[in-house]
Amino acid sequence: MKPFYNKPAKTLEEQADLLINRGLNINSREDLIKKLASVNYYKLRGYTYPYQDNTEPNSPFLPRNNWDEIWSDYVLDSRLRALLFESISHIETALKTQLTLNMSLGHEPTWYTDKDLFHNDEHFRTNFSELLKDWARSKEKFKEHYENDYNNAQLPPSWIIFETATYGVMSKYYGNLKKSVPEKDFIAQYFGFPHGCTEYLKSWLQNLNIVRNICAHHGRLFSRTGIVTPSYPTLPDNWLVLGFAHDKIYSSICVIKRLLDYCMPEYDFKTKLFDLISTASANQKSKMGFPAGWENEPLFR
């Protein structure tokens, strides 16, 4: 039988002393206490973990640790999450626009209710249920206008209801469209894919859904591995050299840059990214999966 969790709450001073007693190298106990007042001790564990011997009881810090480096990891990660969340929001808006526009013109405005357009019936039912839940929860003025002015027995057209949908539901709707639905390919081509590459776009959208959720919930991102790996087609412009760890965040950054080049070229993601990475140490860039010479790859020139 598993034991109950019975660790008591600790004051900020007790938390600081616990870290110091475990070997954390600091310049100022007062500064450490101030940082712990704004960032949860448990949250920081994700950033102190690589600097500790986690095979030993109480996970003592390794000799060559430095609080400034740990805090730098945290700050870099916060800035990275903010940049990627903002960037993905532009992709989300473009996907929502392309999905509702192409499918509504090619089919009915309520095409999202037609299960014959979708590959997997179970996924269709789940996605449809989530879409309706998002609509029911929404407090948007346009929803109130629709319900007050139109017959509630009639479901809204996709260009209205998808404005209340989560990115996850929207990307799943795209992914579950049958390959034979021509609009699925039209949307992939809008994002720069050659004809017949819809499964690659599906893979990219799944990857970004996970990244977006991590950003939205302020999770550790920069050193995370195991994110759903995006698949890469062979593209005619040779935009990427495949020689890096695909399960690190650099892979998602490449996906974001490529998609933004097509759907929001006015958004200067490259400059924002270069400014951020210029503050990163070699160790931090390695944790993110940036290969040597990445800035000279065709994608980032």
pLDDT at 84: 98
Spatial distance between the Cα atoms of 106 and 98, rounded to a whole number of angstroms? 12
Nearest Cα neighbor of 181 from 131, 118, 127, 126 is: 118
The C-alpha atoms of residue 60 and residue 231 are separated, in whole angstroms, by 40
Instruction: Return the pLDDT at 279.
Output: 96
pLDDT averaged per 10 residues, the chain (length 301): 87 96 96 96 93 94 94 97 98 98 97 97 98 96 91 88 96 97 97 91 94 95 83 64 73 93 96 97 94 88 83
CB atoms within 10 A of CB 59: 16
* pTM for the full predicted model: 0.92
The owner of tokens 């209340």 is: 164
Q: For position 272, what pLDDT does the model report?
A: 98
Q: Phi and psi at residue 60, in whole multiples of 5°? A: -65, 150
